[in-house]
Chain A
Amino acid sequence: DSGVTQTPKHLITATGQRVTLRCSPRSGDLSVYWYQQSLDQGLQFLIQYYNGEERAKGNILERFSAQQFPDLHSELNLSSLELGDSALYFCASSARAGVGADTQYFGPGTRLTVL
């Protein structure tokens, strides 16, 4: 158990809908990362927050957004869902941001299925 929690574990929804994925980092970690894992794209970085502020953006679609709250939990919002958004979404946390030595610890993921 990494100490990173994600809810829900599974999510099934229809095209055009909006969903919210939630992540709680390890105790004491200030940095949260979101990754998407799909069969065709592999593991792709989406976005990073550090202590409530957005720090880096990767291959995140405009239909997707995220935020980190004062209690450091983070939410990833996916809207106008398309079939191609079906994937496993991981959250990871680390103690600091921009420090190469810090390990990112991953949550169990949320499997999103768009029908």
Chain B
Amino acid sequence: AQSVAQPEDQVNVAEGNPLTVKCTYSVSGNPYLFWYVQYPNRGLQFLLKYITGDNLVKGSYGFEAEFNKSQTSFHLKKPSALVSDSALYFCAVRDMTTDSWGKLQFGAGTQVVVTP
């Protein structure tokens, strides 16, 4: 079965410092990986995805993610965090097994708190 794990429930970072949110995955076959962000009382917003190609993926709002096949990781990064980046972040893998038709399997989420 395909799955993702987000090992940290919460990440605290000071504004201006680098932000990293960790994600590891387990899939059979090629992984299709996604990051979403959820602000309070809002839906999930798509940040970026890895399909194939360059291991460094650039996304919205200055975020990027690094795909590492040997470590089965897809960590989300931002060089300089903003207070407005405080939100709940979800890593997801596309389930491409038979009969799944591409549903997303989400991690538990990581709460990011950026302090001024």
Contact = CB atoms under 8 A, between A and B. Distances in A.
Interface of A: 2, 4, 31, 33, 35, 42-43, 45, 48, 50, 55-56, 58, 90, 92, 94, 97-109
Contacts of A50: 101
Interface of B: 30, 32, 34, 36, 42-46, 49, 51, 90, 94, 96, 99-106, 108-109
Given A43-B90, A43-B106, A106-B44, A101 B101 contact: no
B36 A106 contact: yes
B30 to A, nearest CB: 8
Given A33-B103, A43-B90, A58-B103, A100 B96 contact: yes
Contacts of A58: 103
6 nearest interchain CB pairs?
A100-B32, A43-B106, A56-B101, A106-B44, A108-B43, A55-B101
Contacts of B46: 2, 103-106
Nearest to A94: B102
A55 B51 CA distance: 22
A55 B106 CA distance: 19
